[in-house]
Amino acid sequence: MKLKNYGKYFQHNMRLFTTIFILICVAVTSFYLYNSIHYQLDMIKKDYGNDAERISLELDNKLTRISNVMNDISNLTWVKKLTTSSDVFLQEFTALKRLECQEALSQYLSIDSSVMDIAIYIKDRELVVSQKGWFSKPEYRSYLMTGRCDIEPDRIYETAEHRNTIESFVTMDYNINSKKNIVMIKNLVEVSSPTASLIIILNKELFNQSISKLGSENIGLEVLNLSEEPLFYTSQDIPQEYEIRLASKVLPAYYRITYPDPSSRFNQYGFLNFTFLAILFSMLLLAVLVSFLLSLYNIRPLQQLMTKINGFVGDTPYPPSKKTEFELIEDSFASLYAQKQDLQDRIAENYNLTRKYALMLILFGDTNFAEWVQHFDMLDILFTEDQKYSVWILSQKQEAPVEINFSAMLSELHPQLVCTEEIEISSSQTILIIGQDASNPLQDYDQTAEWIKSLALQRYNALLEIQIGNTCGPGIMGISQSYHSLAKGTEQTETEPPYREVGNEIVQYINEHYCDPDMSLKDLSARWNLSVPTISRLCKETIGVNFLDYLTTLRLERAKKLLQETSYSIAEIAQMVGYASEYSFRRAFQRNENCRVQNWHRGNHHE
């Protein structure tokens, strides 16, 4: 399995899922190890606790047996008599009686293997009664030294707080000649004060051995009184890592039992056995497999989408080598969008060509255009049969034609005229189909055409020639007839000879009557019995500019002279120079002089 055979999105998901599952495996493994380690440590501590309980119980039992023996000895009749008075001692304790006392003490040596000697120390007589004999204090010391029982009887003492009570026993360590023993003392007390003490000497080494057998570890043991003072300890090298304290049930003391650190018994590699490693490896392998399946399942809808997109786009099949699936989808959608735009452009181009072809059929009056009529609605060609239309041909005469929106210019100059269609025949020639206003059937198209020429020259520096076809009839047939009449008139004009003299006459008439409000190409056409286009052409050939520009120049020059030399109002001057309204005069003046009439008047008027 090679990830490079799949897309980057699949690889990303594979790595993501694998990381998540591996982290889960690590978390589960860590949790398992943590719980296992703590469980094992708890079990070790539990074993330590059970062991300490057993040791404490055995110690209590051992000390209870010794305490019971001491109580039994202290209750013997001869012991009580021995501690009563000197007279009783002299009368009854003969040599035979003393042997009996020694034998009685020797019988109690079997209570524990660590017991070395049992003796009674009589304080006022400085006498020690032992199972080995009756000794004075110095003699018993010598016996102890010879018998390798390292104890100094002089150190046997009583404390003030124990004087009036029967103490169960007190443990003390003695270290003489590097040998250690345990001395257990019980004060034998009468009503007034202690007169004697019962002494049991234990071999510390044997006592330690018996205690060590109780535990399962290399333990340390201390017996502490209530003041935390040590009464007994097994050795100087007591392990301090883990400590358990238990109260003695027979003594006013504590047992402090110490063990090695539980972690020293814990085998940190015990869990890393073959089974554990096999399970861990299986979990990791399963995590990778599940990650692969999830990634494959997650990528399937994307693969299906990619297949469909590639089917539409026609690109190279999935998967890509260097791009992610989403990047390829973006490229595919960009390609689809580009194809859509190209298709829309082609549709628009075909639509425009088809529409232009249909309009040309209408203009030329083709006999086959009838079958196109049913498609005119789809082409947004709407000509009603109750309205008449006029056809205009606008031609640019400069070498580099410019793009001009004639429909906008027409609506700006003459809002009542509706430009139904604007057909661009070439870069220099455009045909306008204009609907005639039913309320004003006799509109002055010539004046509007002159305005369009002037505005095109001013805004675009374009020289226009406008040919206007008369409205011949309503609807589509009227448009065709209008265009044919226009074309016929154009042909006639082209075949006419030059009328230079007629042109001069027309210009002279304009110079003499330019202040006439009715001055127009139509009026001139009627006077000389020529078509409007012919009159317009003759004027331009004679004076070099079109009729409207020439007429406007004459009127404005006359108006400026009147503004300078007379005190007539602007409205009066506008009427005097041939404008039908003050508004038309102001507009023409500002368009040609690039300033307002009143501003020019203030700067040029002579008082």
Cα angle at 453 between 452 and 457, to 5 degrees? 115
- Domain check: are 161 and 286 in the same one? no
- Domain check: are 114 and 168 in the same one? yes
> Of the ranges 8-22, 28-42, 180-194, 391-405, which one carries the lowest mean pLDDT score?
180-194
Q: What angle in degrees, to the nearest 10, is found between the helix axes of 532-543 and 475-495?
A: 40
pLDDT value at position 162? 35
> Distance (Å, rounded) from C-alpha 163 to C-alpha 46?
43
Mean pLDDT across 64-71: 82
> Of the ranges 34-43, 109-118, 469-478, which one carries the lowest mean pLDDT score?
469-478
- Domain check: are 116 and 71 in the same one? yes
- Domain check: are 142 and 32 in the same one? no
Please say whether the beta carbons of 51 and 160 come within 8 A: no
> Is 70 exceeded by the pLDDT of residue 25?
yes
- Domain check: are 131 and 203 in the same one? yes
Assess if residue 80 is contained within a domain. Answer: yes
Assess if residue 278 is contained within a domain. Answer: yes
- Domain check: are 126 and 32 in the same one? no
Please report, for the domain that includes residue 89, its CATH number. Answer: 3.30.450
Q: How does DSSP classify residue 163?
A: T
Please say whether the beta carbons of 115 and 106 come within 8 A: no
Confidence of residue 166 (pLDDT cuts 50, 70, 90): very low
- Pinpoint the alpha helices (H) of 365-444: 406-413
> Is 50 exceeded by the pLDDT of residue 126?
yes
- Choose the most confident range, by mean pLDDT, from 72-76, 122-126, 180-184, 202-206: 72-76
Please say whether the beta carbons of 254 and 247 come within 8 A: yes
Mean pLDDT across 554-566: 88
Considering its fold, how many domains does the chain have in total?
2
pLDDT value at position 411? 78
> Distance (Å, rounded) from C-alpha 462 to C-alpha 118?
147
Assess if residue 135 is contained within a domain. Answer: yes
User: Environment class of residue 450 by beta-carbon count within 10 Å: exposed (0-12), middle (13-18) or buried (19+)?
Assistant: buried
- Domain check: are 7 and 126 in the same one? no
Name the pairing type of β-strands 179-189 and 170-176. Answer: antiparallel
Q: How does DSSP classify residue 5?
A: G
> Distance (Å, rounded) from C-alpha 141 to C-alpha 597?
153
- Domain check: are 279 and 222 in the same one? no
> Is 60 exceeded by the pLDDT of residue 156?
no
Nearest residue to 564 (alpha-carbon basis) of 535, 512, 502, 607: 607
Nearest residue to 407 (alpha-carbon basis) of 395, 417, 397, 396: 417
pLDDT in tens, 130-154: 887 888 777 777 776 665 444 433 3
- Domain check: are 199 and 215 in the same one? yes
Higher pLDDT, 11 or 499: 11
Please say whether the beta carbons of 138 and 127 come within 8 A: no
- Domain check: are 40 and 156 in the same one? no
Higher pLDDT, 115 or 212: 115
- Pinpoint the alpha helices (H) of 414-474: 445-460
pLDDT value at position 348? 83
> Distance (Å, rounded) from C-alpha 530 to C-alpha 547?
15
Query: Can you give the residue range of the structural domain that contains 38?
Result: 3-46+271-313
Residue at which a domain ends, from 234, 262, 290: 262
- Domain check: are 42 and 84 in the same one? no
pLDDT in tens, 297-336: 776 776 666 666 666 655 554 454 566 666 767 777 777 7
> Is 50 exceeded by the pLDDT of residue 176?
no
Assess if residue 429 is contained within a domain. Answer: no
Confidence of residue 161 (pLDDT cuts 50, 70, 90): very low
Assess if residue 155 is contained within a domain. Answer: yes
- Domain check: are 146 and 183 in the same one? yes
Assess if residue 534 is contained within a domain. Answer: no
Nearest residue to 213 (alpha-carbon basis) of 231, 234, 230: 234
Mean pLDDT across 359-375: 65
Residue identified by tokens 């390609």 is: 335
> Distance (Å, rounded) from C-alpha 352 to C-alpha 369?
17
- The average confidence (pLDDT) of the chain is 74
Assess if residue 143 is contained within a domain. Answer: yes
Mean pLDDT across 285-293: 81
> Is 50 exceeded by the pLDDT of residue 167?
no
* SS3 call for 426: coil
Nearest residue to 177 (alpha-carbon basis) of 144, 209, 202: 144
pLDDT value at position 314? 56
CB neighbourhood size of 381 (10 A): 18
> Of the ranges 258-272, 273-287, 293-307, 579-593, which one carries the lowest mean pLDDT score?
258-272
Mean pLDDT across 92-119: 79
Assess if residue 518 is contained within a domain. Answer: no
By percentage, how much of the chain surpasses pLDDT 90?
Answer: 0
> Distance (Å, rounded) from C-alpha 248 to C-alpha 453?
129
Residue at which a domain ends, from 262, 297, 326: 262
pLDDT in tens, 449-496: 888 888 888 888 888 888 887 776 677 777 777 777 776 655 444 444
